[in-house]
Structure 1
Amino acid sequence: MRSSQLLRLITVNIGIAYSFAVSYPRDDSFYGQNRAAYFQDNDSAGNSLVALQISEYDGTLSNPVKISTGGKGLAGLVAVSQDSVVVDGNYIFTINAGDNTFSLFIIDGRDPTHPKLVGNALPTLGQTPVSVTYSDKLKTACALNSGSTAGITCFKISTHGPTPQGGLRFIPQTELNDSSAPPPGPLVLSADISFNPTSTALFATVRSNGALPGLLYTYPISPSGQISVTPIVTSLPSLPFLFSLNFLDNNPSHLFVTNPHQFSPGAAFLNIEYPSLKASVEKIITIPGQIASCWVAYAPQLDAVYIIDAARPNVVTISPETGEVTGQTSFPANNLVESGGADARVDRNWLYILSDDQMDPKVIIMEVGPEQVPTTVQEFDIFQQVGTIPGLMGMAIYPTEY
């Protein structure tokens, strides 16, 4: 072999080795994506979606952008529901509690902090919508109303905008145990809505006034995709303050719920039978020291469920399989007021907690992981970075892949 050929061969091999050295262990599914977090400001003068850029390397937030939802918020409506802002694929879904409407956005993956409102905000046909869910299989989103006209309204979803599908699936006030529109705050009595992972049923939680059982509303979905207008109602006496709905491990039978009341254990596993859709309490889970264990952030990649209290700055980690408490820690909060979280989500190895302290609102970012105590890495100051927020609400992440 000539010396020049040998030199070229050595050069090529060194180049290949160097290329592998600098790229390993980078994984395109973990890095290299534009990421964003979203919540709403709940302004009664005009609701806005607030988008925040997420660092692909350390999970920190920056560069906030406000985008009108086309509807009105309800200032002071804090800590009332989970899933008031939902990301699925390249869609964002929000509800506007101040004028009883539903909004759809489309995300450009190249610039996720500037989502575009599609069409107009549409009526939810009820009062005080608090939660929304989406089925990609059915191309359908459904909003849960919790006011004096309570119930569920669904919309067919496309890139052209939402289209109403049928009327209001009414929830009688006799079952809400209240005959008037609920005031802003935690007394709103229907709290969360979710399709199961197979899109064969739609679920909604309904809390009582504390003296009566909580209710789980379940709407069967036909093989052709028709959502029943007649619910199967399950009474759950041990869960009067039924709140957050969370299907774990894509298992339609494994439903994790919270029950945020200081005299309650705090959470439970429910078993859903098919095809009857009967629900039963499988296991009651005691959350140590809980006052209002509302928010659930499920991280299957970390084999963990994080539960955030709305009344104290506390994060409890449990096993999604057994419900065993595996850790507990606190996050930074204003010591002058009693405050906790107002929603939460996990993205990769970071937990995003929306503070419910209206005097000093922040997004708390904590690094989390297997056998790791959650550690605060950033306190994103909303007043300083975004401006006055009348009533922040909801937390969602793009992209939704873990």
Structure 2
Amino acid sequence: MKLTIASVLLAFNLASYSSAGTILPRWGKTLELNSCRGDASGAAYFMTNEPTGNYIIASDIGSDGKLNPRKAVYTGGLGGHANNGGGGDGLVSQGSIVVSSASNMLAVVNAGSNTISVFSFDPSNPTDLRLVGAPISSGGEFPTSVSFSKDGDMLCSLNGGEINGVGCFKVNSTLIAPMTQTQRSLGLNQTTPATGPPGSASQIFVAPDGKNVVVSVKGMSTSAPGYLAVWDIINGTLSKDFNTVPAPSGGQTLFGIAPIQGQQALILADPAIGYDIMDFSGQNRSTAVQVDGQMAICWITYSSKTGNYYMIDAGASRITEVNVDNNLKGNTVNNYSTGNNTGPLDTAIATIGGKDYIYTLAARQTEVNVMSLDGPGQAQIVQKLDIAGPASFVGLPINATNVQGMATFSKP
């Protein structure tokens, strides 16, 4: 059920409006979207990514998996939009907003001001975000993706602009500071803002074992396919150069990344074909897999409850559920429509009451699509949450071509 404007309670200081009715951002400024707080089982987050001021929209997750928008929190930075024809997916990336459940922290990119912002939160009230210090330089231009280490004390960022590459930071609830010898270049021939999708950087990923930082890069064509750039983590520093791991034969546009459970392998969304499985065990099981009817599979997430991967297709407005067996063979389990012309983008899964729910940003309709994963092949829509109404009620700009990111937190 959509949240109507009438159900939203106004709790906003009118002094934060300019004469034109737009918001004057301030560091740490919080807009109350709904003062009614229930017994939340977790939280979901995405960002407005507006060039006039980037805000995080934080929503409670109820015991039924549904969302209750609570707050819009200013990041202290500006959003940005890639040179991609002016359509949705302004950052042409996955992981623009991420959460560490180990350290109870959230990180977000500010592509328009070349910074990243880090917030801490109390797990008992995860929509109450507290800015750690001030936004910090990303070390390059047009940051598009961030990733925490497994224990949450290291954060790495990906810059996709003319000055592109990676950098890592030491983080805790009171500090964010650059780590020495972690600023490394990708050497892409890019612009600021980034131009793509072809030839642009996609996602940064800190391996759970703490041994590598991985970046996916989209290819330009079948003759110039995408690749993974892999740096070794050595005593808190990154190797000077990265190893290049090309896409498997038939793969081209490496986008969102997910580790394959129990394997030395990754699965990546690939809008040129469907998805790619990349094997690092030495058994030569890497493969590119065609998904019938796919148009733009770009984002991917994993459900521990169903054991399957969920891939978001912005072009076909659908979610494709995929199973990967012990021999790294992938097969489609089911497809689910998110609704005509919804333009789904970023996605994340939360475990609530022993069941997984998937939260997908339906950008074109300025909604969040919530589906319960009742079992393998058994996903169903339980909520289509309007986000434009609550935002406009407090004067917060929401633009279907700018909104980006999705991350979740589940209470232990």
Q: Same fold (TM over 0.5)?
A: yes
SS at match of 1:44: coil
Query: Which of 225, 249, 262 is the equivalent residue of 2:236?
Result: 225
- TM-score, with structure 2 as normaliser: 0.80
Corresponding residue number in structure 2 for 1:55: 62
Corresponding residue number in structure 2 for 1:213: 225
Q: 1:143 to 1:172 in 2, by over 3 A?
A: same
Query: Which of 261, 269, 275 is the equivalent residue of 2:277?
Result: 269
From the CA coordinates, give the structure whose radius of gyration is larger: 1
Corresponding residue number in structure 2 for 1:169: 184
- TM-score, with structure 1 as normaliser: 0.81
Query: Which of 205, 208, 216 is the equivalent residue of 1:197?
Result: 208
Q: 1:282 to 1:235 in 2, by over 3 A?
A: closer
Question: Residues of 1 paired with 2:271 and 2:175: CA distance?
Answer: 36
Query: Which of 379, 382, 385 is the equivalent residue of 1:380?
Result: 385
Q: Render the CA deviation track for 1:67-97: whole Å, top value 9, x for unaligned.
A: 0111111156536111111011201011110
Corresponding residue number in structure 2 for 1:8: none
Offset of residue 235 of structure 1: 2.5
SS at match of 1:394: strand
Query: Which of 308, 327, 332 is the equivalent residue of 2:334?
Result: 327
Corresponding residue number in structure 2 for 1:149: 163
- One-letter code of the match for 2:201? S
Q: 1:258 to 1:382 in 2, by over 3 A?
A: same
Corresponding residue number in structure 1 for 2:34: none
Corresponding residue number in structure 1 for 2:80: 74
Q: 1:250 to 1:64 in 2, by over 3 A?
A: farther
Offset of residue 114 of structure 1: 1.4
Moved >4 Å (runs of 4+): 182-185, 278-281
Contact kept? 2:255, 2:298, Cα under 8 Å: yes
Contact kept? 1:197, 1:250, Cα under 8 Å: no
Q: 1:250 to 1:101 in 2, by over 3 A?
A: farther
Contact kept? 2:162, 2:194, Cα under 8 Å: no
Q: 1:398 to 1:203 in 2, by over 3 A?
A: same
Offset of residue 368 of structure 1: 1.5
- One-letter code of the match for 1:100? N
Offset of residue 40 of structure 1: 0.6
Q: Render the CA deviation track for 1:203-257: whole Å, top value 9, x for unaligned.
A: 00111222412121001122x3332232111233632211111112264x12111
- One-letter code of the match for 1:346? I
Question: Residues of 2 paired with 1:283 and 1:229: CA distance?
Answer: 29
User: Which consecutive unaligned segments of at least 5 residues does structure 1 have?
Assistant: 1-31
Offset of residue 184 of structure 1: 6.5
Corresponding residue number in structure 2 for 1:92: 106
Question: Residues of 1 paired with 2:152 and 2:99: CA distance?
Answer: 16
Question: Residues of 2 paired with 1:319 and 1:143: CA distance?
Answer: 30
Question: Residues of 2 paired with 1:366 and 1:129: CA distance?
Answer: 30
- Which residues in structure 2 correspond to 1:243-392 (within 5 Å)? 243-249=255-261, 251=263, 253-261=264-272, 264=273, 266-273=274-281, 282-321=286-325, 322-334=329-341, 339-348=342-351, 349-357=356-364, 360-387=365-392, 388-390=397-399, 391-392=402-403
Offset of residue 63 of structure 1: 3.0
Corresponding residue number in structure 1 for 2:7: none
Offset of residue 137 of structure 1: 4.1
User: Which consecutive unaligned segments of at least 5 residues does structure 2 have?
Assistant: 1-38
Aligned residues between the structures:
351
Offset of residue 138 of structure 1: 7.4
Q: Percent identity?
A: 27
Offset of residue 370 of structure 1: 1.7
Residue 119, structure 1, aligned to residue 140, structure 2? no
Offset of residue 279 of structure 1: 10
Question: Residues of 2 paired with 1:250 and 1:128: CA distance?
Answer: 34
Question: Residues of 2 paired with 1:155 and 1:293: CA distance?
Answer: 31
Offset of residue 112 of structure 1: 1.0
Q: Which structure features the higher share of helix residues?
A: 1
Offset of residue 197 of structure 1: 1.7
Q: 1:184 to 1:206 in 2, by over 3 A?
A: closer
Q: 1:215 to 1:64 in 2, by over 3 A?
A: same
Offset of residue 107 of structure 1: 1.2
Contact kept? 1:247, 1:254, Cα under 8 Å: yes
Bigger shift: 235-244 or 189-198? 235-244
Question: Residues of 1 paired with 2:133 and 2:244: CA distance?
Answer: 34
> Greater relative contact order: 1 or 2 (C-alpha under 8 angstroms, separation 6 or more)?
2
- One-letter code of the match for 1:73? G
